Amino acid sequence: MTAAVEKTDLPAIEAEGWSAEEVLAWGFDRFHPHLALASAFGAEGMVLIDIASRLRPDFRLFTLDTGFFFPETYELMERVEERYGVAIERCRPALSPHEQARAHGEALWSRHPDRCCEIRKVLPLRSKLAELDAWVTAIRREQSPARASTAKIEWDAKFGLVKLNPIADWTWQEVWQYIRTHRVPYNPLHDRRYPSIGCTHCTRPVDGGEYSRAGRWAGFAKLECGLHDRAPGTANGG
């Protein structure tokens, strides 16, 4: 971290009435260039990228490239770089897929998805966040029960920095309205019943009525990668 950021500095309560643009603008004013958007290029992430590009063309964007994204996701990443003129910071795991298989056995995701996510997402994220004072996510409250109490600006106690969730209160319909109005590029898998898109091994299409993240880690009682856990006994996510 590069600046003294105190949890008590956060305008957490006022921010609940702010628009996504206002939350992001506050973050850029306070933290740029030590603030970055995290994205796996789902519909919500694309909305945030578009809003950020209008506020701050030199915004920073990173992804946790597990090596297991869908081809459609990698293609979308190229389109994002072209359209928004941003160089995506690709955070890769210490182990290649082959090295992981040698060290932990084949298809770790099918036996111990938490361990696989730890290696391929959580550890690379921890390393990236150590460079930053604030990060921005596209999580929304209605995505899953664990996300229902997400604040728009909060202290991330797990990783020790400020976390902005500018579209926490948006609905799935609002996300798509924005995408259509602003002609934002999106992952074509969304048109094939994949509301939430992660690694190929752990993502399936969902049926109507399921939570949008129900298609992640089918067969396991797992809806999160370990990136957005809250420290127990802490208010406001921190």
Active site residues: 225
Q: How crowded is residue 219: how many other Cβ atoms within 10 Å of its Cβ?
A: 9
Query: Length of the chain, please?
Result: 238
Q: Which of 27, 124, 166, 198 binds ligand SF4 (CB under 6 A)?
A: 198
In three-state form (DSSP H/G/I as H, E/B as E, the rest C), the secondary structure along 181-195 is HCCCCCCHHHHHCCC
- The rounded distance, in Å, linking the Cα atoms of 222 and 63 is 21
Smaller CB separation from ligand SF4, 121 or 128: 121
Provide the 8-state DSSP code for 118.
Answer: I
Binding flag, residue 37, ligand SF4 (CB under 6 A): no
65: nearest Cα among 98, 92, 94: 92
* Of 199, 206, 223, 227, the one binding ligand SF4 by CB under 6 A: 199
Q: Which of residues 46-85 bind ligand SF4 (CB under 6 A)?
A: 66, 68
CB of 105 to ligand SF4, least distance (A): 13
User: Using the rule CB under 6 A, which residue among 20, 38, 49, 117 binds ligand SF4?
Assistant: 117
Instruction: Kindly tell me which residue out of 12, 37, 116, 189 binds ligand SF4, with binding defined by CB under 6 A.
Output: 116
Q: Report the nearest approach of ligand SF4 to the CB of residue 55 (Å).
A: 30
Minimum distance of ligand SF4 from residue 199's CB (angstroms): 3
Q: Does 24 bind ligand SF4 (CB under 6 A)?
A: no
Site size with ligand SF4, rule: CB under 6 A: 13
Q: Which helix (H) or strand (E) holds 37?
A: strand 35-38
Strands of 134-136's sheet in order across:
89-91, 61-64, 35-38, 134-136, 161-164, 153-156
d(CA 128, CA 115): 19
113 binds ligand SF4 (CB under 6 A): yes
Q: How far is the C-alpha of 42 from the C-alpha of 172, rounded, in Å? A: 12
Contact, 16 vs 48, CB < 8 A?
Answer: no
Tell me how far, at minimum, the Cβ of 80 lies from ligand SF4, in Å.
20
Q: Nearest distance from residue 139's CB to ligand SF4, in Å?
A: 16
| Part of the chain binding ligand SF4 (CB under 6 A), chosen from 23-31, 43-51, 130-138, 199-207 | 199-207
> Which of 140, 129, 123, 125 minimizes the C-alpha distance to 196?
140
121 in contact with ligand SF4 (CB under 6 A): yes
Q: Which residues bind ligand SF4 (CB under 6 A)?
A: 66, 68, 109, 113, 116-117, 120-121, 198-199, 201-202, 225
